[in-house]
Structure 1
């Protein structure tokens, strides 16, 4: 009997249809939203790190995290009393093509916990095979688990809607992985991550039932989603389904605008990686912009077509929403409301994108049509040279509108090749700073007030790939101190933190082409 004091109130596996087959083998699951499956028993689990914030959110304490009960439950060794773990059934479009049934191939939902009127679903990632694992083993390795653990918590503190992480642990087992898909598999340390969200329902959960023309299960899932996560929309009806889609579209755009704001590139925006709550979900081959580049993708699988590149994320969000609209259509049987929501997404993107860029530039009042030109000119300048996005915008906050001629000096640190800031390049930058200074004179805030506001929008610290890789390399040698250091650093990404100034730097040269620092695969 577990001594963990969790207020378990399961709904997904009680209110939605279950797979009647209880054996754990790969198969097509029809007429069901999930399959019951227990996590694989780990051989010798050990905790690496626990989020005290998420402990509190669940009603637990740091002392609880030190118990054998906690270790056993959140590494899959034991199942919580009176719970029935399960893997979700969903499909998805991957790289623009319908992939059919996908599902939780290595994620197992343990239970739902309600604490202080918040609902949290607990999910183990890397907990073993499920009916949706296809030919895979359902496990995860340490490197990818560290990346998701650190990034999901970092994104939360950046103010980006995201799934969270509770714990990171070693399983004690080795896992065979071909990291770059080049025919050279190697054994790596196995790990299991407990991630947390109000729900892990994705666009693909709806798509699979629509594709199979299983409208009865589709309706049950839609009604469940409204009941537990969009109850303010009213009782299920055609009108409510349209409202549901509009809300999902709005939240999706909001999250993607945040990604653009902080320079985050998801890397694999398939429809099965899109949350119906607009959360950032599935941290695989993600990356942070080093040089400002709309064409950059961190995903080796996407290197040729760059479908999921930084500048295309808003368009992919819209494309994915079209697929969700198609999935919901059988419940509505008319297109107007869905089309209106999609058109609103397009229009709102233009408005909200400019609004976001204006705030990054410290333009908080007196909306002006010239701001579009100012931001477009800036983006062109940023792309013409290799300029670090995070350093550029953070240092821009120190700009004095009385001294535009000093602007170039402020941003020199952000250039990967500072010697380029001369001649015609310097002239173009000086011309832009002249326009920027003129525009700032129409603002009500003085320079110091503007700096403070800009520094709440432009982070000083983000989880650059080389930082995560350093933590991974140390962890592979049994040293988890860097995981803890980065975890605590990234809890305050907008603060100066002078004791951590060493992390406010451009990507080092050694990391430019290093695996794990410049490009990543989907292997995890």
Structure 2
């Protein structure tokens, strides 16, 4: 197993002067060197072969002893020094101070095909930033992260990738519901892959400490290595960087809304400057369309990170990044201009995304009103978001409104409970929808193809992940492989996978791991 190693981050940015691995406040540094803890009996249980190829390895490498040793943290790859990043953040809207990689250890950076990647182990032991944690991860959360990272990529959502999933052979104590009932669970490790894991919180930490020298060093490093299109100098360079991050963040959230994904814990330390989805914790997909739904038990009261508020939270987080970058710019007005442009730009892109989902090409007052009416209708009854939009493509422009309504009825969780009034509301919407379809020049087949390219048939619903977890806890990893293969082609029909194009089963409605999840992993 041979990798082309780079060490840009650790060569250019300042290291923690203390080399001992104990929990502490780390000052004047962007990272601390730390060695992963050796697991007792590591085993590779799944490898994403596409990611293997992405970093320059072959399938045979995944079965080598070097692969197992490196990506379990058993040995350190030659000419590398693993490290944990220092960063801060706002958690649930409150300043949390220093956070950092509490259970993530960056192994190294590599280059392949003129692309740079950072490889990071999640669950490989304590770091100086572990606070009260043990630095480990459990199998259930690791399965969810591994499958979701790859599922999101194939959905076309900007995301970190996952190279492999391993069990450690060690038990980890976790209190899943934070109710005092801690229990031992099997430990696991995921190897994450991304251009870098630099977050909003990296800049927040340095700004909060008035460490402006290192703030500028980090920002210059980030621009030079990851935003090479920015060729300006001085304040203009930093404004261009903030504008680029804002745009990437906006696009990422549009994709989340398009596929019905809820991140669940949009703290500023979980926001990437690359505009990619990171830190898959208590995430979830919309089963029934509900703008107020959050999958995170910690967020169940205030629902700060609910589906319908993700764009607003992204803007709030960008405000915190703007505050962190302000010392490099020393002017509020240009930063405010970028922030003020976010919501109008988001609404415009959101409208176009929703029109794409319903197969309408022209954006005007009538079609936007149609979208708004649809959003209101979807919450009248418990309606499966994925199934509704996928089946909507089956509507024929020559249908009657009753025929069109019949085509989407399988998306309702309790069809027999639909009131006459709500059915009438739906039929009125379909009357307007069919009018728009008849006015369009595209054929039904052309429209269907375009709709099916943005409305996935298969997403990683929580109950699907939970089934894979329960099987894996019995050392049956076949469902992980099955779901991985299905989710590689989420927009295809896949007749052999039709069982996964189904509403959430009744047993999953309130089951732990299916309805809501905690951050405990």
Shorter-normalised TM range: over 0.9
Does residue 1:27 correspond to 2:50, yes or no?
Answer: no
Alignment of 1:131 onto 2:128: yes
Q: In structure 2, what is the equivalent of residue 461 of structure 1?
A: 458
Q: Which residue of 2 aligns with 1:243?
A: 240
CA distance in 1 between partners of 2:164 and 2:201 (Å): 26
Residue number in structure 1 paired with 2:338: 341
Alignment partners' CA distance in 1, 2:218 and 2:416: 58
Partner of 2:157: 160
| 1:392 counterpart = 2:396 | no
Correspondence for 1:144 among 141, 145, 151: 141
Tell me if the contact between 1:266 and 1:285 (Cα under 8 Å) persists in the aligned partners: yes
Q: Check whether the contact 1:144–1:284 (CA below 8 A) recurs between aligned residues.
A: yes
Q: CA deviation at 1:336?
A: 1.9
Aligned pairs for 1:292-311 within 5 A: 292-311=289-308
Instruction: Tell me whether 1:171 sits opposite 2:168 in the alignment.
Output: yes
Counterparts of 2:44 and 2:112, CA distance in 1: 24
1:498 is aligned to 2:507: no
On the 8 A contact 1:42/1:172 being kept in 2, the answer is: yes
Partner of 1:99, secondary structure, is strand
Contact 1:210/1:327 (CA < 8 Å) preserved in 2? yes
Equivalence for 1:279: 276
Alignment of 1:90-239 (within 5 A): 90-234=87-231, 236-239=233-236
The residue that corresponds to 1:487 in the other structure is: 484
SS in 1 for 2:74: coil
Partner of 1:233: helix, strand, or coil?
Answer: coil
CA 236–109 in structure 1, closer or farther in 2 if over 3 Å, else same: farther
- Per the TM alignment, residue 420 of structure 1 is displaced from its structure 2 partner at its CA by 2.8
SS of the equivalent of 1:321 reads helix
Q: Secondary structure at the match of 1:48?
A: strand
Q: Distance in 2 between matches of 1:7 and 1:155?
A: 27
1:85 pairs, out of 58, 82, 86, with 82
User: Displacement, 1:236?
Assistant: 4.5
Deviation track 1:270-313 (CA, whole Å, cap 9, x = no partner) reads 00000000000000000000110000000000000000000000
Question: What is the Cα deviation at residue 512 of structure 1?
Answer: 0.3
Corresponding residue of 2:353: 356
- 1:162-218 Cα offsets, whole Å, 9 max, x none, are 000000000110000001100000000000100000000000000000000100010
Question: Is 2:424 the counterpart of 1:427?
Answer: yes
Is the Cα contact below 8 Å between 1:169 and 1:191 reproduced in 2?
Answer: yes
Give the distance between the partners of 2:494 and 2:347, measured in 1 at CA. Answer: 34
3-state secondary structure, aligned to 2:59: coil
Q: Distance in 1 between matches of 2:383 and 2:166?
A: 37
Compute the displacement of 1:442 (Å): 2.5
Shift of residue 422, structure 1, vs aligned partner: 4.5
Q: Unpaired segments of 5 or more residues in structure 2?
A: none
Output the CA distance in 1 between the equivalents of 2:356 and 2:423.
Answer: 25
Q: What SS does the corresponding residue of 1:518 show, helix, strand or coil? A: coil
Aligned partners of 1:187, 1:405: CA distance in 2, in Å? 54
Q: Which has the higher mean CA deviation after the structures are superposed, 500-509 or 337-346?
A: 337-346
Q: Equivalents in 2 of 1:135, 1:347: separation in Å?
A: 41
Tell me if structure 2 keeps the 8 A contact 1:129–1:137.
yes
Query: What is aligned with 1:445?
Result: 442
1:236, 1:283 → 2: CA distance? 35
How high is the TM-score relative to the length of structure 1? 0.99
CA distance in structure 1 between the partners assigned to 2:90 and 2:66 by the alignment: 39
Q: Which residue of 2 aligns with 1:66?
A: 63
**How far apart are 1:411 and its partner, in Å?**
1.2
Tell me the SS of whatever aligns to 1:170. strand
Find the aligned partners of 2:210 and 2:256 in 1 and give their Cα distance. Answer: 34
CA shift digits 1:372-405 (9 cap, x unpaired): 2101100000011100000000000000121132
Alpha-carbon contact 2:352-2:363 (below 8 Å) kept: no
Within the candidate set 320, 324, 336, 1:327 is matched to 324
Q: Is residue 2:300 matched to residue 1:316?
A: no
Q: Quick check: 371-380 or 232-241, which moved more?
A: 232-241
Cα distance in 1, alignment partners of residues 398 and 419 from structure 2:
22
Give the drift of 1:444.
1.9
- 1:367, distance to aligned residue in structure 2 (A): 2.4
Partner Cα distance (1:190, 1:141) in 2? 4
TM-score, scaled relative to structure 2: 0.99
1:346 to partner: Cα distance: 1.1
Aligned-partner Cα distance in 2 for 1:367–1:317: 25
- Which stretches in structure 1 are left out of the alignment for 5+ residues? none
Contact residue 226 and residue 236 of structure 1 kept, 8 A: no
Question: Could you say which residue in structure 2 is the equivalent of 1:473?
Answer: 470
Q: Distance in 1 between the 2:479 and 2:334 partners? A: 50
**Where does residue 376 of structure 2 map in the other structure?**
380
Distance in 2 separating the partners of 1:190 and 1:71: 15
What's the RMSD between the two structures over aligned residues? 0.7
Give me the whole-angstrom Cα distance separating, in 2, the residues matched to 1:102 and 1:444: 54
